[in-house]
Amino acid sequence: MKLAELYKTKTHSWMMLECNGTTQDTQGCINQYFIHTEYESMLMDPGGIELFSPMLAAVLQHTELEKLTTLFASHQDPDLIATLSLWDKAISNATLYAPSLWDRFIGHFDLDNLHFEGINDEGGEIQLGGVRLRLLPAHYLHSAGNFQLFDPAAKILMSANVGSAIKAPNDSKFVEDFAQHVKHIESFHKRWMPSNQAKANWISRVRELDLHILAPNHGKLYKGDKVHEFLEWFDKLDVGSAAK
């Protein structure tokens, strides 16, 4: 497994850990994103236990552990954050940004080194090596306290589970034919996104962004006009409607 570059300038770069076939066929593809600056780095939704070793090896190819100063957890699913206790032992001085709604749950990870910084419901900002990153509310999509991370310079939105395809071909990083991709995302969004009102609020907020890449937790990423196609499709979808 290796980190694939999504964006690079003199100030910072975005990378994602490319999935392998085994993970794809069992738990579904987990996209892990990594932002690297000259002095600091950030890991987003660090993943399940099975991904700790490959992610650690990939990160060490690009930076020293001392420069991994920030972790971001969008929501509480174990496939995304089960490794928090392992990262806590691997890095000695880092901040974990996660929804403040989790305050009473974070203690169950038995963290000794990570400093928990709760994100208020309205969101906020992270300064990473001089790069400004925005924490955008995406409550109830699908977690009650859910956040996404937007980089205005890179024009990338790490969208957590919005846009995710749990099991889909991993022949390319980006969606090429949206009409064909719909079959991989429709049932997931109907079941796991419970609120049409929350969905409409999120779409209105995201349409105000200068956005080039929408990067979900699972499956392929959306780039350029595919971002617009996804938003148009999601706007018309009746969510919270898959349970029988």
CB count within 10 Å of CB 22 equals 9
Provide the whole-model pTM: 0.93
Q: Return the pLDDT at 19.
A: 64
pLDDT in tens, 17-34: 876 544 344 455 689 999
Which parts of 82-210 fold into alpha helices (H)? 84-90, 103-106, 178-192, 196-206
Domain boundaries, the chain: 3-236
Mean of the per-residue pLDDT values of the chain: 91
The HSE-up count of residue 150 (CA atoms within 13 Å, CB side) is: 18
Does domain 3-236 match CATH 3.60.15.10? yes
* Structure-token match 């099991």, residue found: 167
Low-confidence ranges of the chain (pLDDT < 70): 1, 19-29, 242-244
